[in-house]
Every structure is written in C-alpha cells, then in structure tokens.
Structure 1
Amino acid sequence: MARSGVSVDKECNNAFQDLKLGKKFHYVIFKLDSDAKNIVVDKIGAKSSEEKASKMDSKEIYEEFIEHLPETDCRYAIYDFQYVKSAEEGFRSKIVFIAWSPDESSVKSKMVYASSKEILRTLFSGVGVELQATALDEVDYASVLEKCNRGN
C-alpha cells in the first residue's frame, strides 16, 4: 500500500506483463477506482495482431491511445512505443510510462495520483521512458518519439 493508502489491483501487473512479455497489446490505461483506494485497469487497447498491425501504423495506434486520456481526470498509462530509430539501427520498441495529470483535473485528483504513482511505477520494471504530462502536446507522438530517441 502506498503512503496515500492506495493499493494496486493484481490485474494491473498482469496487464503490464502481457504488454511487456506477451506483446498482446500496445497500451494499458490505469485509474483509481470509485473509492480512490485501488489502482485498476481502465482500458486495454490496440491488440498486437498482424491483422490490426496491417490496418494501422504505429502513429495511428498511438493517436488512438491518446484519445482515451480524459481531458479532466488523471490516469496512468503504459505504452509499447514502436519506432524506427535510424536506417542503420532499424526498428525499436520502448515501454513508456505516462503519469497523466491534466491542468483541468481537480486538485484532489492530482494529489492522490501524484502520491500513488510510485507504488504502481515500482511494479513496472523495464520501463524505458517515463513522462509526467499535463497537456496533450507533452504526450503527442513527436514528443514521445524524441524522448525515445534520446533514451530518456
């Protein structure tokens, strides 16, 4: 249990492992439950399948993910960000952890999410990039691609 008194539902770790090791999907979004006592899976999206991949490229899948971040409430998310680093280095993949805290969310929500982030983050070993974002331009495709290329 975090200092905030929030715990993490076991499905959160299962979803992370399915994304990281099983490559079953591209992203998972997490939220606090209605009592603000547990972090739970909110949305699992963009199944990693050949059929889906043939219909959508990496940027389109990422744009689909961004549409699921609420404008007025906080969330946590992990994303298996796939990109081409350079012609020489080829295809890459990094797991990105996003702490989404939009300016329009309530002060209480921001405080609970901020104080609970670390307990969730410690479960997710192998994250390559971590972002704290308050506006969509901070998590747009180009910004995340730049951070992945820098190795942050």
Structure 2
Amino acid sequence: MAVKRAPIIVIPDLDANCAADYKALANGVRPAHFMLVYKLSDDEKSMILEHKIPYRGSSRIPWSSLEDLLPDQNPRWIFANVEYVMAGGDMRRNKVLYVAWSPDTITRPTMRESARVKSLSVLLEQVFLPAVGAQNPDVKMQANCKEDLDVVEVLKRVSRFERGGEVNMDMSAFALEHPQEKFV
C-alpha cells in the first residue's frame, strides 16, 4: 500500500531590504517606521515588503486602518513597534509586536496555507532575525479575522506582563503617526 506524503512546503527567500527595515524598526525607541507589512511575491518564491507605515508629523490615523492593508485571501506578516502609555500618563513604553495574519477566508487548501504561515514564521524568528542581528519580537500573535486585531485586545496582549499598574486604554494615545501621503 502506497503511503501518501504531505506536499513539500517551499520556504521563500527574503528580500535583502527586509533585513535593514526590520532592524531599524526593532532596534529603535522611535524608529523611522512604525509598522512593516510583508507578503509573498506573486511567484511565491520570495518574501517582500508590501507596506511601510512611517513615524512622522502630527497627523494620526487609527490602529483600525491596519485592517485596510490586510487582504481576505492571503497571509501577511506584520511587525509593529507599538508605543503605549501606562495609567497615570507618566510612563511611555514600546514593544515590538509580530502578527502572523492568516485569514479564515482563504480559499486555498487551509491546512497547506496554515503550514506555510507557520513555516514562514519559524523562518523569520529563527533564521532571518538572528542573521541580521535584530532582536526577536517582544510579543507574538496569530490573527485570523479582523476582530483579532481589535486595539483593546492588542494593547492587553502587548502590555500583559507590565509592572507598575494598568495600561491607559485611552485610544487616542494608541494611534499611528502617519504623514498625509498614502502608504508606501
């Protein structure tokens, strides 16, 4: 009797610019970019940077605008330098958040796509980040629907082990600083 084997999952290459962008985001208190969104190239052979959301200016957009960047049919990998304020307003902190976006609405075979998302996450954490000398994300999470990215839930997750009190849940303090031009 023939044994069925699972399809081999090809792990894509990483674009060279991805390393510099991530290192700048992860190693800075106030980095040039707040968020990086990665995707697979059309031929699915390399991982490329799709969006850079910069820190600049005084105009702000809400965290919920992240939902507009995430497609319903394809996975994305998001790194964000999240800045938040502790209750009392006197302590500002920041942590690097990693989100593996794998929507429940994917029409491809779900198990294959889930395995691909997991293998890419392992690639990012165990190969890519150490190779560029960047720190691992402080907080990791899986998001399968837009509700998983609710700002209150994200803040609770990011600040889970904080000492010194509660996190200020004033959402005006948790917004992306963004210039007037469109996302890169």
Determine if the TM-score, normalized by the shorter chain, exceeds 0.5.
Answer: yes
In the TM superposition, what whole-angstrom CA distance separates every residue of 1:8-34 from its partner, at most 9, and x where no partner exists? 222111111222235001100001111
Query: Secondary structure of the residue that 1:70 maps to in structure 2?
Result: coil
Q: CA deviation at 1:7?
A: 2.0
Gapped regions of structure 1 (runs ≥ 5): none
Are the equivalent residues in 2 in contact too, given 1:129–1:151 (CA < 8 A)?
no
Q: Corresponding residue for 2:60?
A: 56
Q: Corresponding residue for 2:12?
A: 6
Larger RCO: 1 or 2 (CA < 8 Å, sep 6+): 2
When the two chains are superposed, the root-mean-square deviation of aligned CA atoms in Å is: 2.1
C-alpha distance in 1 between matches for 2:89 and 2:11: 48
Larger radius of gyration: 2
1:33 equivalent among 13, 37, 41: 41
**Is 1:147 matched up with 2:147?**
no
Paired letter, 2:91: G
Tell me the number of residue pairs that the alignment of Structure 1 and Structure 2 aligns. Answer: 143
C-alpha distance in 1 between matches for 2:141 and 2:121: 12
C-alpha distance in 1 between matches for 2:35 and 2:81: 6
Listed as ranges, the matches of 1:59-74 within 5 Å are 60=62, 62-74=63-75
Query: Secondary structure of the residue that 1:150 maps to in structure 2?
Result: coil
Q: CA deviation at 1:88?
A: 6.8
C-alpha distance in 2 between matches for 1:70 and 1:121: 23
In the TM superposition, what whole-angstrom CA distance separates every residue of 1:75-115 from its partner, at most 9, and x where no partner exists? 10001111112227611111100000000112243332222
Paired letter, 1:56: R
C-alpha distance in 1 between matches for 2:72 and 2:64: 15
Paired letter, 1:48: Y
Instruction: Return the TM-score normalized by structure 2.
Output: 0.70
Are the equivalent residues in 1 in contact too, given 2:35–2:81 (CA < 8 A)?
yes
Q: Corresponding residue for 2:170?
A: none
Q: Which structure has more helix as a fraction of its residues? A: 1
In the TM superposition, what whole-angstrom CA distance separates every residue of 1:24-72 from its partner, at most 9, and x where no partner exists? 0110000111121111111111x212x1xx2216xx1x22223211122
Q: Corresponding residue for 1:109?
A: 113
Are the equivalent residues in 1 in contact too, given 2:99–2:140 (CA < 8 A)?
yes
